[in-house]
Structure 1
């Protein structure tokens, strides 16, 4: 496993301090984010999953706790849209340059509007995908918001 990914390179270039959290990725896990939290012995609400969606047909990146589901209604409202839906995996991979299960909000091929669930601010450190399957990065929620220029919002159902 490489410790340098487009995500970790983007964090390093931005001068953001982060910690690597490699784990054994299970592609057959019913919920990959929960599997990552369990593998690392971390609380599921501190491990955030990165999802790609569309609001009124435009791509957005959504970062929510691994034990939660995204509210499409809240997501659409966050970006001033009328409707939201999950992006097809192949489209998400093409847009971000990351494989599903390894999508990071950092270092994506094309920068898109990003929203991070407001519960991230409850922690000194959150774990977010580091750009490949089996690698999370730990960083402060403030840094995660700053590097992605994210909106903080209530995004969960």
Structure 2
């Protein structure tokens, strides 16, 4: 497994302090973030999932704890939109340059508005996908907000 991805290159360029952790990715896992948390031996709330969505038809990204569900109504409001919906996996892969299960909020092919759930943003450290299935970066969510110029909102 390569530890150099567009995500890690973006983190390095932004001067973010992080550590990498690899785990055995299970392509058959029902919920990838929960499987990652179990494999890493941490609480599910410490592993953040990256979801690609459409808000009023425009792409956006939302980052929240792997054991939480996003409220599309709250997410739409946070993005100043009337509605939001999950992006189709093929569209997310094309837009980000990552495969589903390995989508990172960092180093995407095209930068899109990003919202970080307030509970995730309040954590001192958390894991976020590092751009490859089975590779996570442990960092301060405050750095995620800073680097991505993300909005913080309650989206659960």
Q: Distance in 2 between matches of 1:110 and 1:122?
A: 26
Question: Which secondary structure does the structure 2 equivalent of 1:45 belong to?
Answer: helix
Q: Distance in 2 between matches of 1:55 and 1:124?
A: 29
Q: Is 1:81 aligned to 2:66, yes or no?
A: no
Superposed CA RMSD in Å reads 0.7
Q: TM-score of the superposition, structure 2-length normalised?
A: 0.98
Which residue pairs with 2:51 in the alignment? 51
**Cα shift at 1:123:** 2.0
Question: Which secondary structure does the structure 1 equivalent of 2:44 belong to?
Answer: coil
Question: Which secondary structure does the structure 2 equivalent of 1:119 belong to?
Answer: helix
Which residue pairs with 2:34 in the alignment? 34
Structure 2 unaligned runs (5+)?
none
**Cα shift at 1:43:** 0.7
Which residue pairs with 1:122 in the alignment? 122
> Are the aligned partners of 2:121 and 2:145 in contact in 1 as well (CA < 8 Å)?
no
Q: Distance in 1 between matches of 2:43 and 2:7?
A: 23
**Cα shift at 1:122:** 3.2
Moved over 2 A (4+): none
Q: Distance in 2 between matches of 1:154 and 1:6?
A: 28
Which residue pairs with 1:19 in the alignment? 19
Question: Which secondary structure does the structure 2 equivalent of 1:9 belong to?
Answer: helix
**Cα shift at 1:124:** 1.4
Q: Is 1:92 aligned to 2:95, yes or no?
A: no
Which residue pairs with 1:131 in the alignment? 131
Which residue pairs with 1:113 in the alignment? 113
Q: TM-score of the superposition, structure 1-length normalised?
A: 0.98
Q: Deviations over 1:2-54 (max 9, x none)?
A: 00000000000111111101111001011110000000011101110000000
